[in-house]
Chains A and B, each alone.
Chain A
Amino acid sequence: MAEELQKVHLYYDDINKIRVLETNVLKQTEDLRDTCKDYETKVQDFLKMITSLLDVVKELGDNVEKQKMSAIGAMNHLKSIAKERESNQTKLQAQISEKSMILDQLDSEYDALQILEATQNETIEYLTQIR
Chain B
Amino acid sequence: MHLFPKLNIGSNKHQHDVILISAADGKFHIVNHNGRIEKTVIAHQGACLVAQWSPDGAGLLSAGEDGFVKVWSRNGLLRSTIVQSDVPCFNAIWSSDSSAILYTKGHFLVIKQLNLSNKITKWKAHDGLILCIAWNANNNLIISGAEDGYSKIWDTFGQQISVSVKHDQPITSLSWSPAGDMFVTGSYNLIRLCNANGWSYCLERPSTGSIYNIAWSSDGTQLAAACSNGHVLFAHIIDREFTWKNFTCTQIGRKVVLIKDIITDQNDKLDYPDRVIQTALGFNHIVMATVKQCFIHKLTSWNTPVTFDLKEGTISMILLAERCLCIVERAGISVYSYMGRLLASPRWSTRPDALGRAAISLGPDALAAIDQTDGKSVHVFDLPTGLIVRSSTDNTVTKLTHKMTVSTIALSQTGPISERQLALLDYNRDLYVVTVKDSKPKFIKLGSQILSIVWSYETELLVGLRANSIVAWCCPRAATQPDWLALTTVSKEIPDLGRNPVVLTIEDGVARVCRGNGSLLHISVAAFPEKLLKHIAANTWQAALQLCRTVEDETLWACLAVLAWNYHQLSIAEEAFALIKQYHQVCYIQHLRSNIPEKLAAN
Which residues on A are within 8 Å of B, measured CB to CB? 90-91, 94-95, 97-98, 101, 104-109, 112-113, 115-116, 119-120, 123, 127, 130
Q: Is the CB of A101 within 8 A of B520?
A: no
Separation of A115 and B493 alpha carbons in the complex (Å):
13
Q: Which of B334-348 contact A (CB under 8 A)?
A: none
Interface 0/1 of B479-519, CB less than 8 Å to A: 00000000000000000000000000000001000010111
Q: Is the CB of B165 within 8 A of A112?
A: no
Give the nearest-CB partner of A116 in chain B.
Answer: B522
- Cβ of B123 within 8 Å of any chain A Cβ, yes or no, is no
Chain B interface extent, by class? 10 to 19
Q: Is the CB of B521 within 8 A of A104?
A: no
Separation of A116 and B203 alpha carbons in the complex (Å):
32
Shortest beta-carbon distance, B146 to chain A, in Å? 19
Shortest beta-carbon distance, B248 to chain A, in Å? 14
A-B contact count, CB below 8 Å? Answer: 44
Contact status of A90 and B550, CB under 8 A, knowing A106-B519, A108-B515, A116-B524: no
Separation of A112 and B497 alpha carbons in the complex (Å):
12
Q: Is the CB of B518 within 8 A of A112?
A: no
Q: Is the CB of B524 within 8 A of A119?
A: yes
Give the nearest-CB partner of A122 in chain B.
Answer: B524
Q: Which of B168, B199, B202, B522 contacts A112 (CB 8 A)?
A: B522
Q: Is the CB of A108 within 8 A of B521?
A: yes
Q: Which residues of A contact B524 (CB under 8 A)?
A: 116, 119-120
Give the nearest-CB partner of A91 in chain B.
Answer: B205
Q: Is the CB of B523 within 8 A of A123?
A: no
Contact status of A105 and B522, CB under 8 A, knowing A91-B205, A116-B510, A130-B550: no
Separation of A119 and B523 alpha carbons in the complex (Å):
9
Q: Which residues of A contact B205 (CB under 8 A)?
A: 91, 94
Separation of A130 and B522 alpha carbons in the complex (Å):
27
Contact status of A112 and B517, CB under 8 A, knowing A90-B168, A98-B203: no
Rank and list the top 8 A-B pairs by shortest CB-CB distance, nearest first: A105-B519, A112-B521, A108-B519, A119-B524, A116-B522, A109-B520, A109-B519, A112-B522
Contact status of A104 and B522, CB under 8 A, knowing A90-B168, A94-B203: no
Q: Is the CB of B521 within 8 A of A105?
A: no
Shortest beta-carbon distance, B463 to chain A, in Å? 15
Contact status of A109 and B521, CB under 8 A, knowing A116-B510, A123-B527, A127-B550: yes
Separation of A116 and B521 alpha carbons in the complex (Å):
9
B168, B199, B515, B519 interface centre (most CB from chain A within 10 Å) = B519
B518, B524, B550 interface centre (most CB from chain A within 10 Å) = B524
Q: Which residues of B contact A95 (CB under 8 A)?
A: 203
Separation of A106 and B515 alpha carbons in the complex (Å):
12
Separation of A91 and B202 alpha carbons in the complex (Å):
13
Separation of A83 and B168 alpha carbons in the complex (Å):
14
Q: Is the CB of B519 within 8 A of A116?
A: no
Q: Is the CB of A101 within 8 A of B522?
A: no
Q: Is the CB of B550 within 8 A of A101?
A: no
- Cβ of B585 within 8 Å of any chain A Cβ, yes or no, is no
Return 12 A-B CB contacts under 8 Å, by A number: A101-B199, A105-B517, A105-B519, A105-B520, A108-B515, A108-B519, A112-B520, A112-B521, A116-B510, A116-B522, A127-B550, A130-B550
Shortest beta-carbon distance, B162 to chain A, in Å? 14
Q: Is the CB of A105 within 8 A of B550?
A: no
Q: Which residues of B contact A116 (CB under 8 A)?
A: 510, 522-524
Give the nearest-CB partner of B517 in chain A.
Answer: A105
Q: Which of A97, A104, A127 contacts B519 (CB 8 A)?
A: A104
- Cβ of B222 within 8 Å of any chain A Cβ, yes or no, is no
- Cβ of B200 within 8 Å of any chain A Cβ, yes or no, is yes
Q: Which residues of B contact A104 (CB under 8 A)?
A: 517, 519
Shortest beta-carbon distance, A102 to chain B, in Å? 9
Q: Which of B307-330 contact A (CB under 8 A)?
A: none
